[in-house]
Structure formats: C-alpha cells, structure tokens
Structure 1
Amino acid sequence: MSADEVQVWLVPDERSDRVLAHLLGVLDAGERQRAAAYRSADDRRRFVVAHGAVRHIVAGRTGAAAAEIRFVRGPHGKPEVADPGSCVQVNLSHSGDVAMVAVTAGRRVGVDVQRIVPGLDTVAMARRYFPAEEAEFVRAAADPVARAARFARLWSRKEALVKAHGGRLTQGLRVPVTPPVAPPGNTPAGDAWPAGYRITDVPAPPGYRAAVALSGLADYRVTPRRWASPAPPP
C-alpha cells in the first residue's frame, strides 16, 4: 500500500459466538473494560466486532499479532498505532449496524459513516452547526428523506475531516466541506489547521453515507474492502 492509497473496510455485524469470543480475546484490558460497560448486548457486540476488526486489519499491515497491537491517544484523544517503526495510520467509525475502518501507509486519516435519519430536524441542525451555504443546501432538498441524506453526507465529511486532523467536532462542523473545496488553512471556526486535507465520499450500505479524509492536498485513491472475520482457532 502506498501513502496515496486508503483502504476503507466495511465491517459486517458478526453474530457467531465463537467469532465474538475470538475477537474479544484479541482486545486489550482497556477495550474489554469499555465493552463490558455497554448495557445493550447489541452495542457491546458491535464494539467488540469493530475493535477486533481494527486490530486484525492493522496486524495485516504490520505483521504483528492482532492481540499485540498497542494504541496511544493523540492530543485530542484519537487512537494511534503505538509502534514507532510503523507508518500505519488507522481510523474507525460506526453508526447503527455499520462499521468502517480506514487504513493508510502514512497520511493522517479519518473515516466516518452516518445513518440517514429522515425523522431528524436536519434543517434546524444544519442551521445551528453548518455554514450558511451548507445549511441552505440541506434545506433546499425536495423532501425529508433527501434533506436527511444531504445532512448525513455533509456530517460524515466534516467528522472524517475532524478525525483526520484530531481537532474538536464543534469547530470542525463550521468548516465548509462541500466538494470540491478543500478546507483552508484558517477556517471560519477560528481553528488554525496545520495542513490541507482532501475529503472523498466513499460507498456505504443503503441508508448510510460515508466519507474519508486524508492529510495533504495530493490525490489519493480509495480501495473499498469488505472485512471477513478470521476463523477462530479450534
């Protein structure tokens, strides 16, 4: 994988007890503690699957065992691969039943997937959080479903950007992300972004929108992948 490629892995919702037990076994103590804190069995399962998938995907890039991968938190809490000799950058997002993992070989990366929610007051939320032009873009859609789809698309682009940059979402929501404009060095949010980023919409299951952001203004290609859970040991 080159620095100008990003693999975006769609992670299916796994329900096999044997697979779930295996994935739980590769998590570290902190991840297992976070999983146990979920009251909902569905939420707990999705956490285990998503974070287990991250470990296996990173292991496939580094050659390390999935259980041996270590993560550290960046200045804004973003997890990063701890191995100083590794140039792997990885990011995870999940919404509803869908999880996605983005991985690159050097450029800072953020991925986000958003479920389309037609019952949400997307016009009011867009006016509250988005620049005026983007709020109007949401409002001008033909019906509630179309407005919700536009809102989810813009939100996924903004959150992917924030996750790549490592900043705060409240600031990133004010950054214009309507294609093809790349975020400027100084944004309406008043946040000094250290470099440009490129944001790309990526394929998502029906009822969802997703995007990926990479640091730098060089072009890159997106390679969609579907993750298959490993066969658990007998």
Structure 2
Amino acid sequence: MSSSTAAQSTVLVVDDEKALAAVVASYLTKAGHRSIKAHTGPEALTLARAEDPDVVILDLGLPGMDGIEVCRRMRTFSDCYILMLTARGDEVDRIVGLTVGADDYLVKPFSNRELVARVQTVLRRPRASRKAVPADIRVFGDLRVDSDGRRVWVAGHEVHLTRTEFDILDALTSRPQMVVSRRQIVDAVWDASWVGDDHVVDVHVANLRKKLGDDSDEPLFIVTVRGVGYRMASR
C-alpha cells in the first residue's frame, strides 16, 4: 500500500456511468483526495496495479467483467479498501461481493456525502506499525496474531487477510475473554458513525473463519455467541 496520508490518499472510482464516476470523483477531490477513474473492469485492474490506490469505489454492475470478478482479481495483488456500489435489492450479489473480498457496500442511489464519509472513516484506520517496539503477539492454540505488524499465522503458515478481516480479528483478540457484539465490532472496525446493516459482520467473520481453517460448528478460534456476537476460544 502507498504511504499517503488520509488527506493525500488515492481513490479509484470504477463505474461505467461516466457522468456518475465524474461526480463521485469530484466530491472526493473536494474532500482532499486524489481521485482517478476507470469505466471497465480491465481498465480498473490496470490502474489499480499502476496507481496502488488506498480505496477503490467499485460498481458491481460493470458490463463484461463485473465488479465481483474485478474484486476477486484485485484481491490477488492489493489489500486496498474496496467499497462496492450495488443496485437496490441485490442482496445476494452484495453478499457475494463481500465473500470475494469487498469490505463494505453502498446501495444506489446514494448520497455523495455519505460515500465521502465512508471513505474518510476507513482512512482513519491504523496502518501497519513501523515503530521499533516489541510486537504484540497474541496466541490462541495454532493461531498467532501480530497486532503491530498486522500479520496472522495458523500452524506456522502465514494467512493473508483483507484489512477488514484483520481489523475484526484484532478487535476480537484484543479482548479475548469477552463476548464482542456485532455493534461493538462495527464501532471498532468502521466507527460509531457508520450506518449500515450489522449483517455485514457475519459475512466477514465467515470469510475470516474460512481463511483460518476454522469450523463454526466446532470452533478452534472464533466462537459464535448466539444472539450476541463473537468471542475467541480459550487460549
């Protein structure tokens, strides 16, 4: 990822509706970001490789190569924050988008102010620490979490998580003896001002479990507390 600050961050806007992409990019530029635009899936992937954006605003309904496939391919080389734009009612597609690596979604039509606020929120998340201090290593059986370096290992093998997946795991492992509610996870990962469906947490936790090789029925690491949220299994 680039080392830009939030005020200098690069945001890639991907939408085949050129007028909409131009309006969104204009709002982002006014908010202090460097905004670039793409109108097709292949163009988006090329720009993402060349420009290393901090955030990608990605329309799900792109012609040819749709947003889900763009997201899947982008996740093979980038950990940028991906905010997917979806049409109202496309619940299944939103879940699929989150499953392949999108961090969040916004339903069209949306307020440009809300979109800019979502971008500002994620850019306030801490980056990997470069301080020369001992790493905060949290151990849960075969799972090791380096909070400072934002790295995760299972049975000695490194597991690559998206930023949102790591932030959720970080929130859970920072309070290992406590049950963390979905709302508390939202407040920790997105922030208290975020407005959206708490169901997004469940989708990301399912992705996280899959990458960790965890089983929700017989969990080694992340335990579901029904009706409340999640906690870490005993160390």
Quick check: TM above 0.5? no
Q: TM-score, normalised by structure 2?
A: 0.30
Q: TM-score, normalised by structure 1?
A: 0.30
Q: Which has the higher contact order (CA 8 A, sep 6+)?
A: 1
